[in-house]
Amino acid sequence: MTSGARPKVMRRALLLVLLFPLLPALAVPSPAFACSCAMFTPREYVDNAGLAAAGALASTSSTPANSEGIVSTVDPTTYTVGVRATYKGEETSRVTFTSARFGASCGVEGLKAGRQYVYFLDFKGGSYTANLCNGTGHVPEARVAKVTGTSEAAPPGSPVVIDRDEPAQNAYPWLLPSLGAGALVALGAGLLFVRRRRGVRACGT
């Protein structure tokens, strides 16, 4: 190996080490590129909503495909909720709201019929709406109860959800293993370089 080729080998090895830990992140698509949401506190979610309520999702109904079998990400999905507790707005036992069909268009995601959630709804054009960024389905009810000064709490069996205002534990589980693997690659590249360098010296003696 010539002396000019050695820096190239080292640069390639260093580039591989730097990029290796990022490969899992690059391989997993993120919805944030399609719909970016600012993070708010539970207090701000309540303040921004026209209606803040908790209850079980009774049913969902999506707009059917058109005559050509095509659906749009902005087509509305209708959600019907049996309200158990109202934290802001007019008290009601049942509420219906709409949201875009998919999260790519900032529609709410992950809501399942029969599960308990907190809903932060806007009142527009005579009806309630929700979107991916207004906190619906992602804020623990206990925190909403706390900031509104009520004693309501989610009933037993409610789903465990991540509070967007607090980072999830071990949010990047792939990071440490990737760093470890990157260190091994760096070590292997270094040993290979040393061996080749010794070989060149041996040939020159």
Residue 104 covered by a domain? yes
Last residue of a domain, one of 131, 148, 165: 148
Residue 35 covered by a domain? no
The answer to whether the predicted template modeling score (pTM) of the entire model surpasses 0.85 is no
pLDDT score recorded for residue 173: 44
Residue 47 covered by a domain? yes
pLDDT score recorded for residue 29: 40
139 shares a domain with 49: yes
Closest CA to 45 of 78, 98, 89: 89
114 shares a domain with 20: no
Is the alpha carbon torsion for 112, 40, 145, 128 positive or negative?
negative
63 shares a domain with 138: yes
117 shares a domain with 79: yes
Look up residue 19 and give its two tokens. Answer: 């990029």
Distance CA 181, CA 17 (A): 9
Helix, strand, coil percentages, rounded to 5, for the chain: 35, 20, 40
Closest CA to 109 of 24, 25, 32: 32
Looking at the structure of the chain, the number of domains it has is 2
185 shares a domain with 115: no
State the Cα torsion 136-154-79-92 to the nearest 10°. -110
Residue 168 covered by a domain? no
| Ordered per-residue pLDDT tens for the chain, 205 residues | 555 555 555 666 555 555 555 444 444 444 434 688 888 999 999 999 999 999 999 999 988 877 788 878 888 999 999 999 999 999 999 999 999 999 989 999 999 999 999 999 999 889 999 999 999 998 999 999 998 888 655 453 444 333 334 433 333 344 455 555 566 656 666 666 656 666 655 555 5
pLDDT score recorded for residue 71: 79
Residue 178 covered by a domain? yes
59 shares a domain with 11: no
pLDDT score recorded for residue 15: 57
pLDDT score recorded for residue 2: 56
User: Reduced to 3 states, what is the DSSP secondary structure of residue 180?
Assistant: helix
pLDDT score recorded for residue 59: 95
CATH of the domain at 117: 2.40.50.120
Residue 58 covered by a domain? yes
132 shares a domain with 62: yes
Residue 137 covered by a domain? yes
Quote the domain boundaries for residue 71.
Answer: 40-148
